[in-house]
């Protein structure tokens, strides 16, 4: 790992560690997806090893496999629809705690789990804090059948739209077998309006704007953890 990347990864781990204080014995915990959430899952597994009693609901097959391999007891949304706290990463966080998520392709299950959680704790390194959302391309999960039509409609809103692909050039498939369109909007001046537009488009399954969902954001900087609350 290059030095900058290593430093960044250490900050992600620091943020993930700070989120452990939000997890209490007996709770059902949403397990996010991504490199920062991976740190959280590993640290949580250590706490489980020391006697913490929780059950996890993972937001992706990747996080489920990791949590299972580390011995974290799991449950499902079928069995439990009331999650005490979910801990997840983010691609961007603005001053109103509005988020862009989905860089790791798990935004649909992440949003479902977040919506069932009494608290959503976001863990990130300080570089994810932005004054205005939109530098990071907004991921939009779409039904495969609708891909071209939705791409055209989102382009008409002013974005450059790219189908997410794997290294071999094949389209990336989400855990629900959908496609992701990465939409380069530049500055998103009115995230609420854009979220409404996208939700109203037939063929859009979910978009990566998480508005009014995060209760706490923990941003790790070199010397401190900045805690933002809504
Ligand atoms: C996955 C996500 C991730 O939480 C987001 O992409 C941040 O990832 P990382 O912690 O690797 O920077 O939304 O769908």
89 and 32 both lie in a single domain: yes
Question: Is there a domain that residue 229 lies in?
Answer: no
Q: Is 214 in the pocket of ligand 1 (CB under 6 A)?
A: no
111 and 193 both lie in a single domain: no
Question: Is there a domain that residue 79 lies in?
Answer: yes
101 and 199 both lie in a single domain: no
Question: Is there a domain that residue 7 lies in?
Answer: yes
pLDDT band, residue 3 (cuts 50/70/90) = confident
- The number of C-alpha atoms within 13 Å of 23 and in the hemisphere containing its C-beta is 25
Ligand 1 centroid distance, CA of 203 (Å): 23
- On the question of pLDDT at 1 being above 80, the answer is no
pLDDT at 230: 86
pLDDT in tens, 191-219: 999 999 999 999 999 999 999 999 999 99
Question: Is there a domain that residue 227 lies in?
Answer: no
What is the value of pTM for the model shown?
A: 0.97
- The number of C-alpha atoms within 13 Å of 83 and in the hemisphere containing its C-beta is 29
23 and 97 both lie in a single domain: yes
199 and 215 both lie in a single domain: no
Q: Is 103 in the pocket of ligand 1 (CB under 6 A)?
A: yes
pLDDT at 215: 97
pLDDT in tens, 28-85: 999 999 999 999 999 999 999 999 999 999 999 999 999 999 999 999 999 999 999 9
Q: What domain range includes position 164?
A: 138-207
Ligand 1 centroid distance, CA of 121 (Å): 13
Pocket test for ligand 1, best of 98, 103, 126 (most atoms within 8 A of CB): 103
217 and 201 both lie in a single domain: no
38 and 144 both lie in a single domain: no
Query: How many folded domains does the chain comprise?
Result: 2
24 and 53 both lie in a single domain: yes
Nearest Cα residue to 92 out of 57, 56, 53, 139: 139
- Distance CA(209)–CA(198), nearest Å, equals 10
pLDDT in tens, 158-194: 999 999 999 999 999 999 999 999 999 999 999 999 9
């Amino acid at each position: 790992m290059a030095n900058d990347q290593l430093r960044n990864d250490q900050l992600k781990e620091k943020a993930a560690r700070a989120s452990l204080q939000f997890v209490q014995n007996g709770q059902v915990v949403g397990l996010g997806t991504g490199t920062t959430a991976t740190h959280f899952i590993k640290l949580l597994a250590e706490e489980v090893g020391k006697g913490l009693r929780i059950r996890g609901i993972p937001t992706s097959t990747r996080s489920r496999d990791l949590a299972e391999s580390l011995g974290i007891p799991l449950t499902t949304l079928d069995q439990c629809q009331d999650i005490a706290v979910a801990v997840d990463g983010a691609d961007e966080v603005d001053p109103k705690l509005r988020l862009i998520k989905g860089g790791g392709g798990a935004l649909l299950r992440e949003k479902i789990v977040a919506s069932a959680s009494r608290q959503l704790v976001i863990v990130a390194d300080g570089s994810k804090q932005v004054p205005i959302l939109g530098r990071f391309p907004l991921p939009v999960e779409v039904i495969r059948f609708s891909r071209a039509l939705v791409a055209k409609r989102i382009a008409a809103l002013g974005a450059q739209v790219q189908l997410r692909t794997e290294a071999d050039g094949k389209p990336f498939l989400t855990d629900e077998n959908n496609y992701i369109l990465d939409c380069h909007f530049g500055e998103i001046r009115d995230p609420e309006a854009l979220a409404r537009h996208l939700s109203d488009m037939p063929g859009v399954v979910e978009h990566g704007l998480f508005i009014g969902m995060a209760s706490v954001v923990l941003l790790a900087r070199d010397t401190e953890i900045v805690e933002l609350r809504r």
